[in-house]
């Protein structure tokens, strides 16, 4: 792909930081550096950090390691963490990444903003499913308001509709979108996953129209049916058109804000240039904590821990679904999520979920997210997203009873 032709106008001025370029050299053994204006390690507040993992294993960051964890570091990734990410990605997805194909992020959310900054002028458009993740809309709207919605069903984005949309645009001579955005596993908010057939079809469409794909996949390993996830779009891609966002928030600790972008080296190079001007690099201390965990646990042990945690989510999902079937009216529809953390409820036509939550939710003591926040078209007013990740099992039954009351109040309002 001709990546440079796709970049936004603002990116033309991005240049490497003259100081950031020196970081690897400054760490050369024996180097006498008058270069970077780094604080002296003797001034740091920490002498060591002791961490105890759930496995009972301990990890201490001390001596030279604590100095590096407290200091400025390379923009792309800490030297200790990057090899772990390369191996983790290869084991997880079967994709071998070069070291120049990885950019550690302050959460995958940062990657959404960076991708939009790099590629979207205000006259450009993006293809997304309707509904879509509200955080993506927030990130993209800083650069464009031109979104092309594609419907979802139980198998994810309806790629046949996508194909028709692009064919119509091309035949009319319209400007094609810059990229396609999708959440292929445990879609937020819809809870569905893109089928293998549609993954292949999506790649074929992107190839035909020479489009990039942004694969946002934080729920890849949150498989509620205890099975391996389908091959990623990146793993199926043979043309270097997929930029992928991975996150450790749902499987390690969200407070550390750790994720990473991977994909074509040219694109990741621009990610790095942008981060040099934005925040220099993701927290070296946070990266040290993840590197310490991966150094002290095999991938098998990590995946076992993830599966154990999924057991909690599966119990919660099943309890919510059972209570919904028992208490909700028959005209309320919902999906059975096989991955992720969400159930997407469709209420009868004419219902206003935002009004329901604001008017009745506080009084009845029940909170869900109105569907309009996930719409790029101003629609989805009769939908709500329910997350089952944090709910206590003892609260589920009462929660669905209160939801049913809220539904009946709204039914009374609209007659």
Q: What is the pLDDT of residues 283-320, one digit of tens each?
A: 999 999 999 999 999 999 999 999 999 999 999 999 99
Tell me the domains of the chain and their CATH numbers. 17-297 (3.40.640.10), 302-414 (3.90.1150.10)
pTM value is 0.94
Contact status, residue 272 vs residue 103, Cβ threshold 8 Å: yes
Give me the residues of the chain with pLDDT under 70, please. Answer: 17-24, 35-36
Residue 14 CA, chain-centre distance (Å), reads 25
The DSSP secondary structure of 391-410, one letter per residue, reads --HHHHHHHHHHHHHHHHHH
pLDDT score, position 40: 87
- Report which secondary-structure segment, H or E, holds 43: none
Contact status, residue 251 vs residue 299, Cβ threshold 8 Å: no
C-alpha distances (whole Å) from 160 to each of 88, 147, 164, 197, 199 are 34, 18, 6, 11, 12
pLDDT score, position 21: 66
pLDDT score, position 76: 93
pLDDT score, position 162: 98
What are the residues whose beta carbons fall under 8 Å from the beta carbon of 25, sequence distance 6 or more? 31, 35
- Show contacts of 332-337: CB within 8 Å, 24+ apart: 332/407, 335/154, 335/190, 335/191, 335/192, 336/191, 337/186, 337/191, 337/192, 337/224
pLDDT score, position 12: 83
């Amino acid at each position: 792909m001709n990546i440079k032709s796709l970049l936004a106008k603002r990116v033309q001025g991005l240049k490497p930081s003259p100081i950031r370029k020196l970081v690897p050299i400054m760490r050369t053994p024996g180097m006498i550096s008058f270069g970077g204006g780094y604080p002296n390690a003797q001034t740091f507040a920490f002498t060591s950090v002791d961490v105890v993992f759930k496995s009972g294993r301990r990890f201490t960051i001390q001596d030279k390691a604590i100095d590096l964890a407290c200091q400025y570091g390379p923009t792309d990734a800490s030297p200790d963490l990057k090899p772990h990410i390369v191996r983790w990605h290869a084991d997880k997805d079967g994709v071998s990444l070069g070291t120049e194909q990885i950019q550690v992020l302050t959460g995958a959310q940062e990657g959404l903003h960076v991708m939009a900054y790099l590629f979207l002028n205000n006259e450009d458009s993006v293809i997304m499913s309707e509904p879509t993740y509200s955080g993506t809309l927030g990130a993209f709207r800083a650069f464009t308001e031109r979104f092309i919605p594609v419907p979802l069903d139980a198998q994810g984005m309806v790629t046949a509709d996508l194909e028709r949309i692009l064919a119509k645009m091309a035949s009319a001579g319209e400007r094609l979108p810059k990229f396609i955005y999708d959440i292929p596993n445990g879609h937020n908010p819809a809870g569905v996953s893109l089928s293998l057939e549609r993954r292949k079809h999506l790649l074929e469409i992107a190839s035909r129209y020479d489009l990039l794909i942004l694969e946002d996949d934080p729920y890849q390993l949150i498989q509620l049916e205890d099975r391996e996830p389908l091959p990623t779009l990146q793993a199926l891609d043979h043309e270097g058109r997929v930029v992928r966002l991975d996150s450790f928030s749902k499987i390690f600790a969200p407070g550390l804000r750790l994720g990473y972008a991977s994909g074509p080296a040219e694109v990741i190079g621009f990610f790095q240039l942008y981060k040099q001007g934005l925040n220099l690099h993701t927290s070296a201390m946070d990266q040290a904590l993840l590197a310490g965990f991966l150094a002290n646990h095999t991938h098998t042990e990590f995946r076992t821990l993830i599966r154990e945690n999924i057991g909690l989510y599966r119990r919660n999902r099943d309890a919510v679904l059972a209570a919904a079937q028992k208490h909700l009216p028959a005209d309320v529809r919902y999906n059975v999520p096989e991955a992720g953390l969400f159930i997407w409820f469709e209420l009868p036509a004419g219902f206003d979920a935002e009004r329901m939550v604001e008017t009745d939710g506080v009084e009845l003591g029940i909170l869900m997210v109105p569907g309009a926040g996930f719409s790029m078209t101003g629609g989805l007013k009769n939908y709500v997203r329910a997350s089952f990740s944090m709910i206590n099992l003892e609260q589920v039954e009462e929660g669905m009873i209160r939801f049913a009351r809220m539904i009946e109040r709204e039914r009374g309002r609209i007659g």
